């Protein structure tokens, strides 16, 4: 698990090391002891000064992943990476349901607006037609996992914001509005560094990585009902595509 860190890359050593330790924790590298190796050992492993390792651990402590105890060592507090299956019938709440006790979708804001070119293409409507836009955050056991911007055709799903706020689930909200089933037509996946807004919304470590999906959901006749751009904290989730 060594593999040296890189200098003069615009990414501080302490951040690289924090990322590596976070990943090692979620991969179960320290499961036997439940603790991160001593600072002096890590410093030797990564080839850096002990103070640099301390900066990395401080960042992880800030995230709530580890807790340093004087005299004992650095304890692992949280070890997580939710699996998020992407299938024809992708259901966020259901898919994650077995891995977390409580799943909630929170509506941050919504508005009615006119579809721009991207949204119109996704929903297969004409640019300028009215759509409902919703900004949401989804949480597993109180911890933010992703935030999303979703668009719906305004005529058919004008009641979406209200239904979503009540049910805290897209699937249930669709059901309330008379759409009992829907399928995922396409999903695009990319990855970028988180910007300020998403860092705040997802309670992320600054400079963290986002996995981004652009998805179109359709009803059973193939008519688009939702176009959504979701931004996932990359260190908290993984996607699984089953065929």
Binding residues for a second copy, per CB under 8 A? 3-6, 8-12, 14-16, 18-20, 23, 59, 81, 83, 86-88, 183-193, 195-197, 199, 205-207, 209-211, 234, 237-243
Identify the sign of the CA torsion 59, 62, 67, 70: positive
- What's the CA angle centered on 230, arms 77 and 103, to 5 degrees? 50
Q: What are phi and psi of 176, to 5 degrees?
A: -60, -30
Cβ atoms of 78 and 26 closer than 8 Å? no
Coil, strand or helix at 2: coil
**Whole-number minimum distance, CB 16 to a second copy, in Å?**
7
Angle between helices 39-46 and 13-26 (to 10 degrees): 110
**Whole-number minimum distance, CB 143 to DNA, in Å?**
23
Q: What are phi and psi of 173, to 5 degrees?
A: -65, -45
Beta carbon nearer to a second copy, 159 or 207:
207
Beta carbon nearer to a second copy, 86 or 175:
86
Beta carbon nearer to a second copy, 24 or 107:
24
Beta carbon nearer to a second copy, 123 or 154:
123
Binding site for DNA (CB under 7 A): 7-10, 12-15, 36, 38-41, 47-49, 51-52, 54-55, 57, 68-74
Cβ atoms of 193 and 19 closer than 8 Å? no
**Whole-number minimum distance, CB 200 to a second copy, in Å?**
10
Q: Name which of DNA, a second copy, none residue 193 binds, using a CB cut-off of 5 to 8 Å depending on partner kind.
A: a second copy
């Amino acid at each position: 698990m060594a593999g040296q860190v890189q200098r003069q890359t615009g990414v501080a050593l302490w951040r690289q090391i924090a990322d590596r330790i976070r990943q090692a924790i979620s991969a179960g590298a320290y499961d036997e002891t439940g603790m991160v190796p001593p600072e002096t050992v890590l410093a030797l492993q990564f080839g850096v000064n002990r103070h640099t390792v301390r900066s990395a651990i401080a960042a992880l402590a800030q995230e709530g992943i580890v807790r340093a105890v004087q005299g004992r060592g650095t304890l692992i507090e949280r070890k997580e990476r939710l699996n998020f299956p992407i299938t024809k019938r992708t259901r966020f709440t259901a898919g994650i349901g077995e891995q977390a006790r409580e799943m909630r979708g929170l509506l941050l804001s919504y508005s009615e607006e006119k579809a721009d070119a991207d949204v119109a293409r996704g929903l297969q409507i004409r640019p300028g037609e009215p759509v409902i836009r919703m900004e949401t955050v989804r949480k597993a056991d109180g911890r933010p996992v992703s935030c999303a911007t979703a668009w719906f055709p305004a005529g058919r799903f004008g009641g979406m914001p209200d239904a979503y706020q009540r049910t805290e689930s897209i699937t249930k909200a669709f059901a309330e509005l008379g759409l009992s089933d829907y399928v995922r037509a396409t999903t695009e996946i990319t990855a970028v560094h988180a910007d300020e807004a998403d860092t705040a919304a997802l309670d992320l470590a600054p400079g963290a990585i986002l996995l981004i999906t652009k998805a179109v959901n359709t009803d059973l006749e193939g008519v688009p009902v939702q176009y959504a751009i979701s931004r996932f904290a990359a260190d908290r989730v993984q996607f699984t595509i089953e065929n």
